[in-house]
Structure 1
Amino acid sequence: MSNFAYATLLTGESYLPGVLTLGQKLKELGTKHKLIVLLDSSSISEENKEVIQSIYDEIIPIDEEVISAPLEKVQEKLDRSELSITFSKILLWNLTQFDELVYLDADVLPLQNLDELFESFELKSGEIAASPDSGWPDIFNSGVLKIKPSTETFEKLIEFSSQPENTFDGADQGLLNEFFGGNNWVRLPYLFNVTPNYRQDYQYLPAFHRFFNQIRILHYIGAVKPWHYGDILSSDLANFHQYWWDDFNRFFGEDAHLKYKLLNLPRGEASNLKFGKQKNAWDVDFVTGGSSEPTRESHSPVFPWEHREEKREATRVFHPTTPPSGEVEEGSSEAVEEDLKKNIEALGDVKVSKDTEKKSEPLSKNYGFEKEGDKNFNPEKSLAEVAKLPFKFFSKARGKKEEK
């Protein structure tokens, strides 16, 4: 008996809402095959790992095997550094305990049962099945794949991926298309990987409306996913986020704590990537001169104001130490507090002219006006009365018109 499974990949908590919704949806649609997730468990909490285990049949740890694309290439081509980690999809071909796998990105949403992908045809070694990409139909989109695990193919992919020039977009889609392009690509209908109206530039709306009821999978491409929005009202309904939200709320809506936690996870897989220490152009190392006080080395001007020939010295400086004499030094924090105290005490003194001053009533009593304030003043009642004025004026004008 053949051993088939649906697989997805999770290398950080940002895509956890998608992974959980995907697993629940596949079960709801009645699949009879196993659900597995390739998981970098070092990037998520134990509590979240338990939630995954409650939905998926098997977790395959890849903590020591996470494969990253050359980050510079991804940034240069796509400006999407989080896609670097998606090279870990190569690990799918090493799962030789399975005869075939259907891989689904965490940001896809099945709308119908997908088991026919296993039953309708069989892949040969070295082949891949995928739908054409809407942006360039002569290549396939790597968000939905049917693969045949093979140690030989896995080793060839590892060697192939070691050369940065072997991925034209810097990420896994460019790599897999270069590797499996040509006769090794078995085309799936576009209905198995529909990217819905992304950026409002769908090229063929009549076909979209004609075949809408036959869509098998929606794929929410782009950097911002449905769960990145606080609610459906703030997202783009034209992107069909409502379908994902309906399922998410049905699966997790009754557990308020879990729902809140899932919708407040940090965004972006880039936090899992290993970077060297970054240094800004204006960062200058501290060096110690002849004394114990640190000084800064001279550096080339970076900001516009650093190019000015005339350098202005600071006129107001707070000194952290108190003068030895015990006197309050001008500009110190003690002096500022003393000035503030004097200003508060002098709030009642109102300057009448340049030459004379008089002691007025406290500001809270007459607000600077000669007339004493109304102690019975009710701002809410007054606001209600003001709101009625337009109707009063309208009624009055209408009455005069009727008299004429």
Structure 2
Amino acid sequence: MSKESAYVTLLTNESYLPGALTLAKKLKTDLKTVHKLIVLLDKSALSDHSIELIEQVYDEIIPIDDKLINAPLAKVVDQLGREELSITFSKLLLWNQHNYDTLIYLDSDTLPLKSLDGLFEKYKDLKSTQIVASPDSGWPDIFNSGVLILKPDPEVFDKLIEFSATDNSTFDGADQGLLNEFFNISSSGSNWLRLPYLFNVTPNYTNAYQYYPALLRFFDQIHLLHFIGKFKPWHAEDILSSDLNNFHNFWWADFNKFYTTDIKSKLLSLPKGEAYNLKFGKYTNAWDSGINPDFISALPPSYSQNPPIFPWEHKEERQPTRVFDDPPSSEIDDSTPVDKVDAKSKSEIETLSSSLSSSKISTKSPPLSKSYGFDKTSDKKFNPDKSLEEVAKLPLKFLTKHKQKKDDN
């Protein structure tokens, strides 16, 4: 009886759930794969509702709770004393799925754009000691572990576990460094079969290592996008609206197509990923500490708690040298109650109010030339009112010129 081949992904927390669900929907609904979908799932890290959503789209769930993860990696924990590496190295469990012939592993933050089913036939004769993967855009002599084609084998699995317990088994502290050490570096690259970069394109928004002419040349041949980095498509619908190469829109187009509003609202309220769980202590500036209290108490009252450090902090308080020509305060008397105003003043106020309401007195501001003084000879040649009128006409002139040019064409 021949063994089946399958796609498999890994999900160890809620933060990557939108990616895992969209990945499965894309493979089944759009790309019509004939192969099974498997997920290595840490159920203890997901809610019951999230597990139900996973069960709806994946054909098989392989639980990887703490006991199953720690059991094969006990030597790693014992030797390195780092229990957190158990989750990091859980991808090694792929080689322990010996019920399957060939597995195509896809990270849950990947999005296939074209069918990948042909890869099963192409690599049907792959040896269990070999691995198929695309070069990493950051260092092409190393493969990226987000897309892998492999043959599960218990002997290779045991060797991987043994290897992971050795010193310097991974140069980056994670599975990519470990798998490259095992399949690539230690064998001088003979066990790594290079998959074209088109099957694991990693959009890079810092433009580092991104070869845009090649991207444009081969764009229609891209088979899969891999959203590396801490910002995933589901973190923001329009992460870079001005970026013409905004690949996140591809993910959102599929996500919106596959899931209704009520499901989306629940999924998008999930945490944003491991990087957001890091806790940092409050940092203080070097100049905020080690200051002699006696020195602070001797400072003038106008100084703040900390002495000025930068040039712009050494400010002197100066009185303004220019003020508006308000009437002297002696001419203003606000103490007189309204009901004590004499009849003559009341009459003048009523006349002024009546004039304003009937628009007999202009409330228009005085011309600019009257509002400012022009002392220089050159200033007197400048007419601000006329200039303001000319500036106001500029937009109309531009539009007229544009329309005339358009009509001529």
TM-score by length of 2: 0.64
Work out the CA distance in 1 between the residues paired with 2:281 and 2:137.
39
Displacement, 1:357?
11
Q: State the Cα deviation string for residues 267-313 of structure 1 (Å, max 9, x = none).
A: 1136899xxxx99799xxxxxxxxxxxxxxxxxxx993465343999
Q: Which of residues 243, 259, 269 is equivalent to 2:264?
A: 259
Displacement, 1:241?
0.9
Contact map agreement 2:97 2:152 (CA 8 A) in 1: yes
Q: Which of residues 278, 282, 288 is equivalent to 1:304?
A: 288
1:4-403 equivalences under 5 Å are 4-27=5-28, 28-64=30-66, 65-66=68-69, 85-121=87-123, 122-181=125-184, 182-231=189-238, 236-252=243-259, 255-269=260-274, 304-305=288-289, 307-310=291-294
Contact map agreement 2:230 2:275 (CA 8 A) in 1: no
Contact map agreement 1:6 1:101 (CA 8 A) in 2: yes
Contact map agreement 1:12 1:272 (CA 8 A) in 2: no
Work out the CA distance in 2 between the residues paired with 1:245 and 1:135.
26
Work out the CA distance in 2 between the residues paired with 1:264 and 1:359.
63
Instruction: For residue 62 of structure 2, give the secondary structure of its aligned residue in structure 1.
Output: strand
Contact map agreement 1:85 1:269 (CA 8 A) in 2: no
Instruction: For residue 99 of structure 1, give the secondary structure of its aligned residue in structure 2.
Output: strand
Contact map agreement 1:193 1:216 (CA 8 A) in 2: yes
Work out the CA distance in 1 between the residues paired with 2:134 and 2:85.
20
Rg: which structure is higher?
2
What is the aligned length? 298
Instruction: For residue 87 of structure 1, give the secondary structure of its aligned residue in structure 2.
Output: helix
Work out the CA distance in 1 between the residues paired with 2:204 and 2:281.
39
Work out the CA distance in 2 between the residues paired with 1:266 and 1:18.
13
Are the structure 2 counterparts of residues 270 and 95 from structure 1 closer, same or farther at C-alpha, using a change threshold of 3 Å? farther
Contact map agreement 2:127 2:151 (CA 8 A) in 1: yes
Displacement, 1:266?
0.7
Are the structure 2 counterparts of residues 66 and 2 from structure 1 closer, same or farther at C-alpha, using a change threshold of 3 Å? closer
Contact map agreement 1:101 1:148 (CA 8 A) in 2: yes
TM-score by length of 1: 0.64
Q: State the Cα deviation string for residues 312-333 of structure 1 (Å, max 9, x = none).
A: 99xxxxxxxxxxxxxxxxxxxx
Are the structure 2 counterparts of residues 224 and 237 from structure 1 closer, same or farther at C-alpha, using a change threshold of 3 Å? farther
Work out the CA distance in 2 between the residues paired with 1:261 and 1:281.
32
**Which letter does structure 2 place at the counterpart of 1:21?**
T
- Which runs of 5 or more structure 1 residues have no equivalent in the other structure? 74-81, 283-301, 314-351, 362-370, 375-384, 399-404
Contact map agreement 2:11 2:42 (CA 8 A) in 1: yes
Work out the CA distance in 2 between the residues paired with 1:20 and 1:83.
25
Work out the CA distance in 1 between the residues paired with 2:198 and 2:127.
23
**Aligned Cα RMSD in Å?**
3.8
Q: State the Cα deviation string for residues 352-378 of structure 1 (Å, max 9, x = none).
A: 99xx996989xxxxxxxxx99x9xxxx
Work out the CA distance in 2 between the residues paired with 1:195 and 1:149.
26
**Which letter does structure 1 place at the counterpart of 2:174?**
A
Are the structure 2 counterparts of residues 307 and 53 from structure 1 closer, same or farther at C-alpha, using a change threshold of 3 Å? same
Instruction: For residue 179 of structure 1, give the secondary structure of its aligned residue in structure 2.
Output: helix
Displacement, 1:40?
0.7
| Percent identity (aligned) | 58
